[in-house]
Structure 1
Amino acid sequence: MKLGELTPASSVERTLLRAQLVNWSGNGIWLSTWAIFSVKVLGFSAVEVGLAATIGGVIGVFSTTLIGSLADTVGERVVLCLLLGTQAAAVALYPIIPNFPCLITVTAIALVAENGAIAVRSALIARSVPAPDRVRVQAKLRAVANIGLALGSGAGGLVLYVDDTAIYITAILVNAAMFPIAAGITFKLRPTMSTGPVAEGRVLKDRSYLTITALCAVLALNYQFLAFGLPLWITEHTKAPAWAVGLLYALNTLSVVTLQVRVSRAVKNTEAAARLARISGWILALCCIPFALAGTASPGLALMLLLIGGAVHVAGELLYAVASWGLALGLAPAARQGQYQGMFTSGQALAQATAPAVMALLIIDQGAVGWAVFAALFALSGSVITPAARAALARRETAVLSPDLPRTS
């Protein structure tokens, strides 16, 4: 990747990227420490922490569409800043959580605000960035998020090494402070893209968009391969060394940071996004083959197969990311971006919430058969998504998506 690929092309991009770096640096600290902090310092069991996260995640899934609708009415910038402030307050309360019901409540508030912020940020991009540049900006934001995550995780690793209650609490409060800083940066944005006349109807009545959301949710299951499925598969079902997990993480992070922006250039319009979604589905299906074969291979061969699978997987992931942004923005009415991005984010969040259970059931319990099922799901979803997107485009006689991504024949 050339250094210039992450250089902001405008003041709007500069503002978005700065806020993203601050936000995800804090997230890196949080993600690497909060579970251990909740168990070792607050005294909750691992089951209680997991249950609180699951309940909060489910509530977050079903709240994003409402939050997106609010953003359409009140304004994306204001709602996003309020959500960041809500996250700050929730995180700051963690050190004084007294009991399990409060843990569920605070976690739910934090996750509702987090999922809502993802949706509203996408809508804000639609209002602040010219149509041809939106997928590229999303790609830059993802690359910067990975940089921030790496920085924050490094700091979190030091916190875990020191393993002191005061240091844990300090880290939690530092993360809480990142949200208002990010909100202050974000508030400088002044959305300039016109939404046009207010569109009639609601996203729940838009069957074509709901279909795309569901198909993308299936493809989004791949994001949990590295977070959940592969670590357990490698350590419990292959002879590869446990540190192979770290290699795959490094390969994935480096690829996202260096290649995501470059890959985004392939999305010229919504039809191109649909074609890339199909290709990503096939590639994600293909990566399941070496992962499955690693389960019966010798240590050295298993490591080689895992690295091959990891390279194929990240290629599919990069393509899916840009395709999903192109479809989510390109098929949404300009005046209802908040509501539509809320629905799309709900699908993505639901996939992330259910993926661990699905992977445990299929991959960990069923082995190669489970990998085959995942391959079939990815290939089928990818194959169906292109005609589904074309059908959605054909129904929009007035080219609803033209303010977002141009359509070409």
Structure 2
Amino acid sequence: MRRLKENLIPPPGLPTRIAFLNLLFGIGRGAFLTGSAVYFTRMVQLEAWQIGVGITLAAAAAAATAVPVSALSDRYGSKPSWLFSVAAQALLFALFPVIKGFWAFALLMVTIELVGMLGNAGRIVYLIEALDPKTRVITQAFGRSWLNVGWGLGAAVAGAALAFDRPIGYHMMVFINVAVMLLNAVLIRRLPDAPHQPAPATEGRRKREVFRDRPFLAVAAVLALLTMHGTVSLEVAPLWLITHTDAPKWTLALLTGVNTVMATTLQVAMTRGSHTIAGGRRVTRWAGWLGAACCPVFYLSGLTSAWATVALLVLATILVTMSELWQSAAMWTLTAELAPADRKGEYQGAARMLSSVENMLAPAALIALAVTTGGWGWFVIAGLFGVAGLSAGPAVDWASRTRVPTLRSNPLATEGVAVG
């Protein structure tokens, strides 16, 4: 019980405040996104294909502008960028009840994505500036755990609104999200300021330095490739279960529950030791090996029957979730510690850009490999994970040799914080 509490309750001080912000964010965003498809079709009057195109346009805009938008947090400061983004997103979400049609929807989705990207960079850079590496990684792990809890609570709110099945209920999903984001903005404003080293106002030849930093881009590419775990868990595995196994459909809920419980209770424990570059290197490799290991287990689930199939699907889900947790821990450390002190936002943007490209390409590619081939494509996916695992060590070593690590202690990190 004590160990479980240590993995669920963050240390006092800034880690607790960040976790609470994530909890609130999860409630608001979970309330909106859970019922968003119904909201968009009924309230915004969109066809299903229009929703898909609008979301794709937003993702493409994010991938194309991730670096310059994220770099704004270097210029104007991490906390101001984070605060502006959250407040602006609240106002943008409040526009959903008054828009109609595809073009207004697409423009609003793109704008929300771009503003949200600035806030994501600002939040991450704030944590880098305000906390020492060990505390920062643990804080991000607690934040992710509490985000999952908030998401579940928000989904329950959305479920009630969907069951009510009235326009006012659908609009409440929007306004709960707006209210939570406005509260978040107030709480972010009250956070202590972090020391900030601004980027030069005149970029000159150093403009977009990250694109010339091939060692960092190699590490970011490995981490982006490993985000295949999300596509495997959320899209490929459910389709595989339905089309190639005899598992009952309720198994989908079981697998989602396994993933959620692990992400909530184990994220903190699996970050321990990953707060150094050497630790990040190690868990990146582990993420690759476990991602590779889950694939043949998924394949075998298509050859078995009854409870053996369910057991194999659960085992594969455990393996891919462990890959997810270690990839997250590696990303939090490596993208922070391998970036120049005055260009944290820009470098976070580059990592985000590569992840966005992966998110656009992976669903179609991995579904085609695993589902439409009859199963042998699982071994190709395993090979991709294996390539990431094999490449992680050389890529991190290359990047480490070309820079001075930014590990340091900050007074804010020890404000009421006791991390074991």
Whether these two folds match at TM > 0.5 is yes
Partner of 2:262: 255
Letter in 2 for 1:355: A
Partner of 1:78: 80
Q: Deviations over 1:94-148 (max 9, x none)?
A: 1222211111101111122233322221111001112331111111111111111
Letter in 1 for 2:220: T
Partner of 1:114: 116
> Does the aligned pair in 2 maintain the 1:239–1:299 contact within 8 Å?
yes
Q: Using a 3 Å threshold, how does the CA distance of structure 1 residues 10 and 332 change in structure 2: closer, same or farther?
A: farther
CA–CA distance in structure 2, aligned partners of residues 250 and 204 of structure 1 = 40
CA–CA distance in structure 2, aligned partners of residues 311 and 362 of structure 1 = 21
What TM-score comes out, normalization by structure 2 length? Answer: 0.91
Partner of 1:401: 406
Pairing 1:172–2:174 present: yes
Partner of 2:97: 95
**Which of 356-365 and 249-258 deviates more?**
356-365
Pairing 1:237–2:244 present: yes
Q: Deviations over 1:58-86 (max 9, x none)?
A: 10122222122111111111111111122
CA–CA distance in structure 2, aligned partners of residues 122 and 186 of structure 1 = 13
Letter in 1 for 2:354: G
The counterpart of 2:389, out of the listed 359, 372, 382, is 382
Pairing 1:57–2:59 present: yes
CA–CA distance in structure 2, aligned partners of residues 392 and 404 of structure 1 = 22
The counterpart of 2:147, out of the listed 111, 126, 145, is 145
Partner of 1:371: 378
CA–CA distance in structure 1, aligned partners of residues 90 and 405 of structure 2 = 36
Partner of 1:25: 27
The counterpart of 1:14, out of the listed 3, 16, 20, is 16
**DSSP-derived class of the 2:248 partner:** coil
CA–CA distance in structure 2, aligned partners of residues 233 and 371 of structure 1 = 10
CA–CA distance in structure 1, aligned partners of residues 47 and 300 of structure 2 = 36
Pairing 1:318–2:341 present: no
Superposition pairs of residues 190-209 of structure 1, within 5 angstroms? 190-193=192-195, 195=197, 202-209=209-216
CA–CA distance in structure 2, aligned partners of residues 29 and 360 of structure 1 = 28
CA drift at 1:10: 4.3
Letter in 2 for 1:402: L
**Which of 249-258 and 365-374 deviates more?**
365-374
**Which of 6-15 and 243-252 deviates more?**
6-15
CA drift at 1:179: 1.2
Partner of 1:186: 188
Task: Give the gaps of 5 or more residues in structure 2.
Answer: 411-420
CA drift at 1:290: 1.1
CA drift at 1:395: 1.4
> Does the aligned pair in 1 maintain the 2:239–2:371 contact within 8 Å?
yes
Partner of 1:127: 129
CA–CA distance in structure 2, aligned partners of residues 11 and 303 of structure 1 = 43
CA–CA distance in structure 2, aligned partners of residues 345 and 157 of structure 1 = 31
CA drift at 1:331: 0.7
Q: Using a 3 Å threshold, how does the CA distance of structure 1 residues 51 and 197 change in structure 2: closer, same or farther?
A: closer
Query: Identity of paired residues, percent?
Result: 26
Pairing 1:158–2:165 present: no
Q: Deviations over 1:39-61 (max 9, x none)?
A: 13332111110110011111012
**DSSP-derived class of the 2:138 partner:** helix
CA–CA distance in structure 2, aligned partners of residues 267 and 128 of structure 1 = 18
Task: Give the gaps of 5 or more residues in structure 1.
Answer: none
Letter in 1 for 2:42: K
Letter in 1 for 2:147: A
**DSSP-derived class of the 2:45 partner:** coil
CA drift at 1:268: 4.0
**DSSP-derived class of the 2:406 partner:** coil
**Which of 359-368 and 64-73 deviates more?**
359-368
The counterpart of 1:292, out of the listed 286, 299, 310, is 299
CA–CA distance in structure 2, aligned partners of residues 92 and 354 of structure 1 = 31
CA–CA distance in structure 1, aligned partners of residues 10 and 185 of structure 2 = 19
- How many residues matched? 403
Q: Deviations over 1:175-215 (max 9, x none)?
A: 12211211111111233346499696611111111111111
Pairing 1:273–2:275 present: no
Letter in 2 for 1:391: W
CA drift at 1:369: 2.1
CA–CA distance in structure 1, aligned partners of residues 260 and 386 of structure 2 = 24
Q: Deviations over 1:212-238 (max 9, x none)?
A: 111111101111222211121111221
CA–CA distance in structure 1, aligned partners of residues 50 and 306 of structure 2 = 36
Q: Using a 3 Å threshold, how does the CA distance of structure 1 residues 122 and 301 change in structure 2: closer, same or farther?
A: same
CA–CA distance in structure 2, aligned partners of residues 85 and 268 of structure 1 = 31
Q: Using a 3 Å threshold, how does the CA distance of structure 1 residues 365 and 222 change in structure 2: closer, same or farther?
A: same
